[in-house]
Amino acid sequence: MRGRRVTAADPGVSEPEPTVERSGLPHRFEAVGEALTSGSDVLGVCAVAGQELARDGASMEETLAGLRDTWRFLTGADPSYDVVTALLTAWSETTLGYLNQLSCEDPLTGLSSQAHLRSRLSELYRLGGAGTDNGIGGFALVVFEMPSGDDPSDEPGDHFTRAMRLARAGELARTAFARDETVARLGLHRVGILTRRDGHLGRRVRVLRTLLDRAEPDSPVRVWIEGLPSTDAIAGMLLDELARG
């Protein structure tokens, strides 16, 4: 195994193979080898390896090849179904999460994604400083939070109902902010609207609050204007904090 290329079934064609380390194990599989030889929780270590390989940009074929080579090197046999499942589940979930971060649209609600809102904010910070009209100083972040605790959508597993409720509220937000504003999902219960800070902002916020209160007559919706910080880095921290709320 040390430094050896795995030969494919078809003569003259070789499979992609992860880099082989000095330990004789493929890259990211050193801890898997340690767990396998010591009798530790190999499934948990395989899950970590799957996450790390996905972050490295390794393909599924490369990930499986590394697992197979590790098992054959140490045991002379192929890995079990449970081991393969643990590795590929972690790899696929991490890869999907990365792709969702790149998307401009939240797939459940149709609203802009938090990553897209983050990108829009970064563009504004690059345009100018906090005191300029064309930069971040000429914009504000309007946030509203749907009431929680009294709706079927608050059941832990009811992601679809919760998303549909937020999508309806997002459409109302687009009614009040009907220009080129970015209306994005923030976490489970919040929506953020990146809009210009002008003389019409207060009136638009009042219209939004009225529309949301009509849609949720039994539970008032909290609406507020969030001040944007002076730096892009702190703006990212702000969005993360709002999404966790």
Question: Does 90 share its domain with 119?
Answer: no
Instruction: Return mean pLDDT, the chain.
Output: 81
CA angle in degrees (0–180, nearest 5) for 112-128-192? 25
Q: Do 164 and 235 belong to one domain?
A: yes
| Residue 91 shares a structural domain with residue 205 | no
pLDDT of residue 103: 62
Least confident of 44-48, 102-106, 124-128, 180-184: 102-106
pLDDT in tens, 184-226: 999 888 999 999 999 999 999 999 999 999 988 888 889 999 9
Q: Which residues contact 156 (CB under 8 A, 6 or more apart)?
A: none
CB 16 within 8 A of CB 65: yes
Residue 226 and residue 129 share a domain: yes
Residue in 57, 49, 55 with CA at minimum distance from that of residue 16: 57
pLDDT at position 133 is 53
Tell me which of 72, 102, 132 is where a domain ends. 102
| Span 74-82, average pLDDT | 93
Residues 136 and 96 grouped into a single domain: no
User: Would 16 be classed as within a structural domain?
Assistant: no
Distance CA 67, CA 89 (A): 13
Q: Is residue 213 part of a domain?
A: yes
pLDDT in tens, 135-186: 688 899 999 998 875 544 444 445 677 788 889 999 999 999 988 899 999 9
| Co-location of 174 and 222 in the same domain | yes
- 137 and 41, same domain (yes or no): no
> Which amino acid belongs to residue 169?
A
**Same domain for 219 and 165?**
yes
Has this prediction a pTM greater than 0.95?
no
What CA–CA distance (Å, rounded) separates 70 from 77? Answer: 10
Lowest mean pLDDT segment, chosen from 17-26, 96-105, 225-234: 17-26
Of 71, 102, 133, at which residue does a domain stop? 102
Write out the E strands in the chain. Answer: 139-145, 182-186, 190-196, 222-226
Overall number of domains in the chain: 2
The whole-angstrom separation of Cα 106 and Cα 140 is 21
Within a domain: 142: yes
- Count other C-beta atoms under 10 Å from residue 121's C-beta: 23
Look at residue 109 and tell me if it is in a domain.
no
Residue 65 lies in a domain: yes
Q: What is the CATH number of the domain that holds 170?
A: 3.30.70.270
**Do residues 153 and 220 share a domain?**
yes
Instruction: Classify residue 146: in a domain, yes or no.
Output: yes
Domain boundary residue, one of 65, 81, 102 = 102
**Does 133 share its domain with 190?**
yes
**Could you tell me if residue 6 is inside a domain?**
no
Name the packing angle between helices 42-56 and 60-75 (round to 10°): 140
If asked whether residues 129 and 198 sit together in one domain, one would say yes
- For 77, the domain range is 30-102
Q: Is the same domain home to 129 and 234?
A: yes
Q: Report CA Rg, the chain.
A: 25
Average pLDDT over residues 62-76: 93
Secondary-structure percent of the chain, ordered helix, strand, coil, rounded to 5: 50, 10, 35
Q: Is residue 42 part of a domain?
A: yes
